[in-house]
Amino acid sequence: MNFVLSRSQFQVLGVACLVMVTSMYVVMFSVSLERFPRKILTLHNEPYIRSQRSMQSLDPSSCLCYPDAVTLSSRVPMMHYGNMVQRRAQEFKSYKIRKFSVLSTPLHAKANSPLQYPIHGYIVLPLTPTLIPDLALHAEEKPLYKVSLKVSKGVLKTKFRNEEATVTGLNENKLMIESSSLEVVNQFLSEIVYTSIIYHIKTADQAHFQFENYEAVFPIVIKQPQVPVLWKTTADIDSLVTITTKTFLRYPKLKIMVESVRTFYPKIHIVIADDNIRTETIPGRNIEQFYMPPAKGWFAGRNLAVSQVNTKYFMWVDDDYLFTEKTKIEKFVEVLEANPELDMVGGSVGGNRWDFTFLYNEGDDEEGGCMYLKFHTQFHPLPGYPNCSLVNGVVNFFLARTDAVRSIGFDPVIKRVGHPELFMDGLGYLMVATCDDPENMHINHQPHAENGVSYNKFRHPANKYMDYRYPIYYFKNHMKCIRL
């Protein structure tokens, strides 16, 4: 028996199939959302998943690796894998202890509460009695009012005395006040003093303020004030900026670079980190050349150079760059001086800015985070400087605040090839901008063809240079996968 469908039956069958496929897609999409309950953000017109959590309450779901990302655990040599996993877990646990703060915990205010309390900005010195401001109760008339205040890292007391109230818990971590007079209760609340019982340079407590079924929680920041460290400078560019570079097997290029600096900045200080196998002396005024063990490495040299800077800013240049009339350090300084929260600003090298941003998800405790580096992308323009944009990383030509970069440092394990590692380590610490200003913030690059066989042998070793960096990302940066 032949079964033939009419045209209308085909249409009905097609609609039914479409509905079935759509339903299956909705179900699958819903399941995936339940599995990964995170807020989807969009950056540079590309969606990515970022967990919304505190370090105390970690999202149990692992982050999602991007297409073509390298799974870092697969790049760890098997002979070291078991021991590395254990050490990595222990180090991350210690890291969380150092970095976790009560301030990371979400606090929620319930509606129509009669409790008045400070919600932000209550800071106390360690072990120092400090009045809690703005504590009060706003309640309807009742025969008895009973309030309590509880903390965990300190004790509470009040100097106010009144026979119309019963106070318990003086100099303890929980203070209770009972009275038939609302006015008396509020007088006591206005005189409560908090004293931390631990010394810590920066931590926090949580105060639980309760009346009947109402409870409010507010943070108490325990912080040791920092002593300001200011840079003594003048308007003279030579007192504001030091030129820093690292050299290896490229003395001819280094000499050309130094001569180009002197053409436009005759007196500016130059610091050279030198790990050449056979050393030469670079002559000239205001040049400091620091010799290192031979072939010590790229980041070790950068650390050495920056460590010897005694100016507010340093400008990093490679030893084969070339200053021109379009290399105006003053313009870099102007941007940083006008934006005190900015730590670094990059220019262009041979017309290329090589700026980038990171898409980063912290992931879970066990597997770690996921990172995707996107080149030539920016967040938004820098206010007041439309040709400059905020980014996460810039090319090897930048002006930076000396103290900011020193606080991050360069990992000396990175020996031959490396650059984004500084910005990976500084993510969340360094505010970085890039400027598209070819007339003022540009530097040239000397030809690569003249590098020589010996240099290229070190610079581009036969083995895959990324192989030794992947285990670093896996262990040190606690990452699951990365796409560079």
Residue 3 has pLDDT above 70, yes or no: no
| Residues 463, 415 within the same domain | yes
| Residues 242, 344 within the same domain | yes
Q: Which two tokens stand for residue 471?
A: 């285990």
- Domain of residue 376, residue span: 237-483
| Residues 286, 142 within the same domain | no
Output the pLDDT for position 216.
94
**Residue 368 CB-density burial (10 A; 0-12 exposed, 13-18 middle, 19+ buried):** buried
**Residue 465 CA, distance from chain mean position:** 26
Instruction: Tell me the backbone φ, ψ of residue 375, rounded to 5 degrees.
Output: -80, 150
Lowest mean pLDDT segment, chosen from 39-48, 344-353, 386-395: 39-48
Give, for 154, the enclosing helix (H) or strand (E). strand 154-158
Categorise residue 237: left if φ over 0, alpha if ψ from -120 to 50, beta otherwise: alpha
| Residues 341, 383 within the same domain | yes
Q: What angle do CA 337, 338, 339 make, to 5 degrees?
A: 90
CA 389/CA 401 separation, integer angstroms: 18
Residues ≥6 apart with Cβ < 8 Å to 228: none
- What is the average per-residue pLDDT within 164-180? 96
- What is the average per-residue pLDDT within 107-120? 84
| Residues 137, 282 within the same domain | no
Residue 164 has pLDDT above 80, yes or no: yes
Q: Indicate the pTM of the whole model.
A: 0.79
CATH number (domain holding residue 187): 2.60.40
| Residues 444, 381 within the same domain | yes
Residue 154's nearest CA partner among 220, 226, 101 is 220
- What is the average per-residue pLDDT within 295-318? 96
| Residues 405, 458 within the same domain | yes
Q: Which two tokens stand for residue 177?
A: 């006040």
CA 234/CA 333 separation, integer angstroms: 12
Output the pLDDT for position 94.
85
| Residues 214, 243 within the same domain | no
| Residues 141, 288 within the same domain | no
Rounded to a whole number, what is the largest CA-CA distance in the chain? 102
Q: Which two tokens stand for residue 336?
A: 């940083």
- What is the average per-residue pLDDT within 52-64? 51
Residue 27 has pLDDT above 80, yes or no: no
Query: Is the separation of the CB atoms in 130 and 158 below 8 Å?
Result: no
| Residues 211, 244 within the same domain | no
| Residues 216, 301 within the same domain | no
Residue 25 has pLDDT above 70, yes or no: no
Query: Is the separation of the CB atoms in 392 and 423 below 8 Å?
Result: yes
Q: What is the pLDDT of residues 436-459, one digit of tens each?
A: 999 999 999 998 755 555 555 555
Output the pLDDT for position 457.
57
Any idea what DSSP says for residue 107? -
Max avg pLDDT among 28-37, 322-331, 444-453: 322-331
Q: What is the pLDDT of residues 387-431, one digit of tens each?
A: 999 999 999 999 999 999 999 999 999 887 888 999 999 999 999
- Coil, strand or helix at 44: coil
CA 173/CA 422 separation, integer angstroms: 44
Edge-to-edge, what's the strand order for the sheet holding 442-445? 321-322, 442-445, 348-349
Query: Is the separation of the CB atoms in 122 and 221 below 8 Å?
Result: yes
Residue 467 has pLDDT above 50, yes or no: yes
**Residue 29 CA, distance from chain mean position:** 32
Bridge partners of 346, per DSSP, are 398, 434
pLDDT tier at 260 (50, 70, 90 boundaries)? very high
Query: Is the separation of the CB atoms in 410 and 302 below 8 Å?
Result: yes
Any idea what DSSP says for residue 45? T
Asked if residue 312 is part of any domain, the answer here is yes
- Average pLDDT score, the chain: 85
Q: What is the pLDDT of residues 77-104, one digit of tens each?
A: 888 899 989 988 988 888 887 777 666 6
